[in-house]
Amino acid sequence: MEAMFRVWTVFFQYQRKHYNKLPLMFLSDVFYWFSTNHPILQTLTESIHVFNNYYIENFHSSLRQQIHGSNMADQIIQEAQIIDQMHGNNSFMNVFAESHNIRYSARQLEYLEKCTTLFLLKLFTDVYRNLGGSKIISFDEHTKPKKYEFPILKTENEIDILPMAWNTSHIPHNDRCCDLEDCIDSCEVGLVLICGHAYHYECFFFKLESQCQYCIDYLSRGIKKNCKAFQKTLESLDKKAKAQDLNKQEATEDIESDDNTSDENFF
């Protein structure tokens, strides 16, 4: 009660239009329940936390949507009863209204923290132990790598899921710092490109002119191959269409000659 009164003083002080009346209405209700010794008082004093304004607001919104300015009090009450009934049957809401305890005790939190630490420690130990352990496990008809095994992830994957560098004929080296073929390898500072190839700054900017030649070759070959295949399809379609035209022409000529023959016979 005191808390509600304090809440009201705050709203009143800040001149909130509706909230400066709402706590007073609540207090008025409580005084009324006191005077009539209403059973709701016991619930109110024992479980004040379950009185959530959200449901009231939500109910009012639904009711406002269903009624018009011209509706009489009886109609509004009737509508409210229908909405209330429907709220009770709302299985969609029930799924989300399921209460569950999301509070953890200090001991549970400590336990979860330890579990997470152990998980991360194991993961990074696995990564360290398996450095360079990923390997090609199958080839396609052109002896290109097709599938890789990743011991850390404990999976086998198609080459397509890897960055572009692993799809080219120059797969990045595990034991070198620069992937440029004719570079005298040294572990000077360099850069790893988004394709997955790594180069010395000097090799990339000066020898390769800021382009990953292996990936450009791979893409150009792909473009040429696809264009050729498309052209071949168009040519075969063209041939088919021409052959069909020829057939049609021949068929028409046959009919015409048949007609001529019959004409000849007629005369």
User: What are the counts of helices (DSSP H) followed by strands (DSSP E) for the chain?
Assistant: 9, 5
Q: Tokens 């989300």 map to which residue?
A: 96
Nearer to Zn ion, 23 or 165 (CB): 165
Phi, psi of 134 (to 5 degrees): -70, 135
The CA-based diameter of the chain, rounded to the nearest angstrom, is: 123
Least distance from Zn ion to the Cβ atom of residue 160, Å: 16
Contacts with Zn ion by CB under 5 A lie at: 165, 178, 180, 183, 195, 197, 200, 203, 212, 215
Least distance from Zn ion to the Cβ atom of residue 53, Å: 60
Please, what is the Cα angle at 260 between 255 and 265, to 5 degrees?
A: 125
Least distance from Zn ion to the Cβ atom of residue 161, Å: 16
Phi, psi of 209 (to 5 degrees): 55, 45
Nearer to Zn ion, 28 or 169 (CB): 169
The answer to whether the CB of 221 falls within 8 A of the CB of 229 is no
Phi, psi of 110 (to 5 degrees): -65, -40
Q: Tokens 């009737």 map to which residue?
A: 78
Here the tokens at position 261 are 């023959």
